[in-house]
Amino acid sequence: MSGARPGTRRRLGEVRSEKLSELIARQVLHDIGDQQLPPGAQLPAESAMCERFNVGKASVREAMRILEINGLISIRTGSGGGPVVGSTDGRGYGSMSTLHFQSLGATLRDLLNARVTLEPTLAAQAAARPGPEAGAALRGFLGSSLQAGSGTEHSDFHAVLCAAGGNPILALTARALRDIWAVRMEAVMLPEDRREGVGLDRRRITEAVENHDAGEAERLMREHLESYRDYCEQNCQQVLGDVVEWW
């Protein structure tokens, strides 16, 4: 793992007010980005990090704990174990976010309303992007989901659509909200008579993205989520008032 580039990053020893563990964690993140390490890639062993940063085991372990809590790495146990690059799938960011949501007293209804606000914007952005990639990604998901026969609202369609918007910050935020929702509301299954409508909504949204019709994609996604919100209000109103808890 390479060192920091002069003039672009804070080096160990440059900011004495910051804990060594935080500086180590930041540098490890820079290394992951610089080397474009994929999820699951092995990171240097604890002993190698201690030697590289000229610090004790406690500082390295605390740095790894910071990254692990935030879902950016995971620690494998056993022979050949150690730190590996985590997956930026929204769950780690979502788990961290729930700490703040709980402290604010934000409810599951607030969370769902945030999804209704954010995801239509991402649908519009996906449709506005030039080229066929966004539409092809959604179309590919539709084909695989039809074979799987999934009937849950929480599905990868939303994740694919969020990523297709092209803004990684908005996409990660939207995916985190979706994952937080799924942890608590995973058991909220749509009845059979509504699943066909959900499939039709997804096909229409996909067609709007393929046709680069941003206004239509936004409208359809909003109506899709508002319909689901109405269903939740009718069938699990009390649960929607619960405060989002850390998980």
Residue 3 has pLDDT above 80, yes or no: no
Q: What does the alpha-carbon distance between residue 150 and residue 48 come to, in Å, rounded to a whole number?
A: 46
Q: What CATH number matches the domain at 91-240, 1.10.472.10, 1.20.120.340, 3.90.700.10, 1.20.120.530?
A: 1.20.120.530
Gyration radius of the chain over CA positions: 21
The residues of the chain that CATH labels 1.20.120.530 are: 91-240
Q: pLDDT of 164-210, one tens digit each?
A: 999 999 999 999 999 999 888 865 667 778 888 999 999 999 999 99
Question: Can you give the pLDDT at residue 133?
Answer: 97
Question: Can you give the pLDDT at residue 36?
Answer: 95
Question: Can you give the pLDDT at residue 1?
Answer: 54
Q: pLDDT of 12-39, one tens digit each?
A: 545 445 689 999 999 999 999 999 999 9
Q: pLDDT of 126-175, one tens digit each?
A: 999 999 999 999 999 998 865 544 444 445 899 999 999 999 999 999 99
Q: Which CATH architecture best describes the domain 20-85?
A: Orthogonal Bundle (1.10)
The residues of the chain that CATH labels 1.10.10.10 are: 20-85
Q: pLDDT of 78-98, one tens digit each?
A: 887 899 999 877 788 898 899
